Amino acid sequence: MTHLVIQAVLAATVLFFVFNLAALHTWMERKQSALMQDRIGANRAWIVFPRWLAPLNWLLRSFNVLGLFHPIADAIKMFTKEDYIPPKGDKFLHTLAPCLSLFFALVGFAAIPFGNTIEVGGHVINLQVANINVALLYIFAVASMGVYGVVLAGFSSNNNYAVLGGLRASSQMLSYEIAIGLTVMGIVMIYGSLNLQELVRAQGHYLFGWLPLWGFVVQPIGFLLFIAAGIAETKRIPYDAPEGESEIIGYFVEYSGMKFGMFYFTDYLETIMIASLATTLFFGGWQVPYLTQAGFQFPWGAAFALAPLTVSILQILSFVMKVLFFCWLFMAIRWTLPRFRYDQLLKLGWHYMFPLALANVFITALILLMVPK
């Protein structure tokens, strides 16, 4: 019973963080694009309290100016908009499609380790909702199922442009799934595990006694290919051909209200998932350089003892900050590069990224055979 309660609390914590970060992404996207384009950005969603609560108005003024209430305004708008289903569309599949996309985007987070362990009330808790032995395969499996929601959205809408968007999205996601799967093979071969918690712990060693042996150090080409293929999996600029506004609008052209909001939310969840995987596989996950369970142990001999709870909190904060960094990086790429033409997009995946990822696996295997254990 205690185990079930702990897992429920971990699951609720992960969902709370992921949902709020995805909502915050809408604000981040507006503000970051405004900053890059020398604009002010969103700042017109205001909350005004009665005059007798004037101190609260003063406290909320900074939130209003920054536009932090825009995610709330977005949610209200989507919940109150009319839910439109095309007269000749399939009502059941039209409703099922966004649910499938959102569900499969969420369940993958169960296997992401956001910390090492923490002791509460005599129980040592592994900071991971589901400690799956083949967690990497599980995440790729559930992520690949999300394509069904996209395809169903296109076909159930009975709209030629929506069908075209669904076909584009499915071919793009299937093409880049092969590349992204190959990019992580080198990491699996080096660290010898598909368990993400074990992969993170294996990155706690040091090269030359001072350089953290994180994934991007041992697999730099794999890391760059993973980032490129991962952004393609999220279907966002420069890989947003399935929803190109100037061409076909996309597979969700016949969606409104919260059903559209679920597709919109799924894109941000997929972005956070790729950021979490990049952090876990290539940036040491929750690892902090020179931080052990006893505290900091620096290469030059200095040491700084810390309480176990403090160590656990620092590791969780390390994971969160790395994920936020990758989210910022994806946003910067999104507002820097133009959209690929669709033939260019598939050519990039099959003619360049796939051979490079395959060569990276071959070279990694060759080096592992040559280097004595």
How does pLDDT run across 7-37, given as a tens digit for each residue? 888 999 999 999 999 988 888 888 888 888 8
Domain that holds residue 294: 86-370
DSSP symbols for 55-117: HHHHHHHHHHHHTTTHHHHHHHHHHHS-----TTS-HHHHHHHHHHHHHHHHHGGGG---SSE
Q: Is residue 148 part of a domain?
A: yes
CA–CA separation, 62 vs 87, rounded Å? 46
Q: Is the pLDDT of residue 49 over 70?
A: no
Q: Which pLDDT score is estimated for 373? A: 62
- Phi, then psi, of 292 in degrees rounded to 5: -110, 180
CA–CA separation, 208 vs 99, rounded Å? 49
What is the number of structural domains in the chain? 1
* Cis peptide, bond prior to residue 238, ω within 30 of zero: yes
Number of neighbouring beta carbons within 10 Å of residue 259: 23
Helix (H, G, I), strand (E, B) or coil at 46: coil
Tokens 């900050």 correspond to: 321
Q: Which pLDDT score is estimated for 106? A: 93
Supply angle C-alpha 76, 79, 84, rounded to 5: 140
Q: What is the pLDDT of residues 185-210, one digit of tens each?
A: 999 999 989 999 999 999 988 888 88
Q: Is residue 69 part of a domain?
A: no
Does this model's pTM top 0.85? My answer is yes
Percentage of the residues of the chain whose pLDDT score is greater than 70: 94
Q: Is residue 322 part of a domain?
A: yes
Q: Is residue 62 part of a domain?
A: no
- Confidence label for 50 from pLDDT (cuts 50, 70 and 90): low
Q: What is the pLDDT of residues 87-101, one digit of tens each?
A: 888 899 999 999 999
Q: Is the pLDDT of residue 251 over 70?
A: yes
The alpha carbon torsion through 262, 267, 269, 271 (nearest 10 deg) reads -170
- Residue 69 contacts residue 46 (beta carbons within 8 Å): yes
